[in-house]
Amino acid sequence: MMHFSQTISIDQLGVEERIARFNTRSIKKASKVQGLKLALSMIDLTTLEGKDTQGKVKQLCYKAQHIADNLTHLPSVAAICVYPNHVKTAKKSLMNSTIKVASVATAFPSGNSSLKIKLADTRMAVDHGADEVDMVISRGQFLEGNYGYVSDEIAAIKEACGSARLKVILETGELSTLENVRKASEIAILAGADFIKTSTGKISPAATMPVTYVMLQTIRDYYDATGKMVGMKPAGGISTAKIALQYLVMLYETLGDAWMTNEWFRFGASSLANDIVMQLAKEEMGVYYSADYISKD
């Protein structure tokens, strides 16, 4: 870890080459099934729309608990991710399950508001029972070079979270360079993030493998320096089982076994779960079945 005013050099082409190597790994048979189940258990099933309603949130929560009752031995997803005003509904719907409720907060997705409002937003989510808070950093302040501001803000939100775990969204699609991603990751981790997360899903590009790789390397370096683990959540754009497996290969070869659990790795995704179910059904039955067999809640 360096001082924020310094920049750790990262070679974009080198990163892309490494990603290409991850993607040549051939994941077949037992390791495929195991990987797909693991990926399913790591999903934060997400609905973050202006048109979200109680009905929609309830349906999603039911789906989270019954992702495909016709298949055997499927894990449930890790969490439901909603806006703060839907936390209560989600919490109630998931009362009898172990699935967590995550809430975005801090003037999501732009983060353009005062600290006071962001704190109130966070407290509301936590008071309503959110187990996890997904905050956004102030990208404007970051790009202005006000790293202290970004850091203090994260620390303040972390305090407001209490026992809820804090995921810090860097919105890497707005940070432009891998060096910036590295720097923002360090700021978030040192300010107390339990997880670092790539994207809101509202900006393109959302999660990419190079960006996630740089964030995983930051987590690795922090762990080497302090012995403390930090979680990782790529979000947005991971829509197929194949891509999810590529992320798991990258996670496995960068951070190792200890991170191969939904305690330390999550996928922020809405349609990924269905593709994984489709692939697992194929492994179980030997053929692909119609997508109409999988619920679209």
Partner 1 sequence: MATTKQTTRTKTVLPAVKSGQKKTVKSTTAKNVRLTNTTWAYAAAPESADHISIKEQYDLFINGKFVKPSSKKYFATVSPSTEKKISEVAEANEKDIDLAVKSAKAAYDTTWGKMPGKERAKYIYRIARLMQERAREFAVIESMDGGKPIRESRDIDIPLACNHFFYYAGWADKLEYAFPNRHPKPLGVAGQIIPWNFPLLMAAWKIAPALATGNTVVLKPAETTPLTALKLAEIIQESGLPDGVVNIVTGFGNVGAAIVNHPLVNKVAFTGSTPVGKYIQKAIAGTNKKATLELGGKAAHIIFDDAPIDQAVEGIVNGIFFNQGHVCCAGSRLFVQENIAELVIKKLKRRMETLLVGDPLDKNTDIGAINSKEQLAKIKHYLNLGQKEGAEMYQSNCALPSKGYFCKPTIFLHTSQSHRIVQEEIFGPVLAIQTFRTIEEVIEKANNIPYGLSAGVWTDKGSKIFNLTSKLRAGVVWANTYNKFDPTSPFGGYKESGFGREGGIHGLMGYVTL
Residues 188-227: x/- map of binding to partner 1 (CB under 8 A)? ------x----------------------x------x--x
Q: Which of residues 62-81 bind partner 1 (CB under 8 A)?
A: 75-79
What is the C-alpha separation between 132 and 102, in angstroms, rounded? 4
Contact assessment for residue 222 and residue 185, using Cβ atoms and an 8 Å cutoff: no
Token pair 């991971």 is found at 238
Strands (E), 160-248: 165-169, 195-197, 231-233
Residues found in the chain:
297
Nearer to partner 1, 2 or 291 (CB): 2
What's the closest the beta carbon of residue 295 comes to partner 1, in angstroms? 19
What's the closest the beta carbon of residue 275 comes to partner 1, in angstroms? 19
What's the closest the beta carbon of residue 286 comes to partner 1, in angstroms? 17
By the rule CB under 8 A, 3 interacts with partner 1: no
Tokens representing 246 are 């590529």
Token pair 């890790």 is found at 78
Contact assessment for residue 213 and residue 181, using Cβ atoms and an 8 Å cutoff: no
Residues 12-31: x/- map of binding to partner 1 (CB under 8 A)? -xxx-xx-----xxxxxxxx
Considering only 50-58, 143-151, 169-177, 259-267, which stretch makes contact with partner 1 by CB under 8 A?
259-267
By the rule CB under 8 A, 41 interacts with partner 1: yes
Which is nearest to 137 in space by CA: 161, 108, 117? 108
Ramachandran region, residue 43 (left: φ > 0; alpha: ψ -120 to 50; beta: rest): beta
What's the closest the beta carbon of residue 64 comes to partner 1, in angstroms? 10
What's the closest the beta carbon of residue 34 comes to partner 1, in angstroms? 6
Backbone angles phi, psi at 24, to 5 degrees: -85, -10
What is the C-alpha separation between 242 and 240, in angstroms, rounded? 5
Residues 116-155: x/- map of binding to partner 1 (CB under 8 A)? ---------------xx-----------------------
Strands (E), 96-162: 100-104, 132-136
Binding site for partner 1 (CB under 8 A): 8-11, 13-15, 17-18, 24-32, 34-35, 37-38, 41, 75-79, 98-100, 131-132, 163-165, 194, 217, 224, 227-229, 248, 252-253, 255-258, 260-263
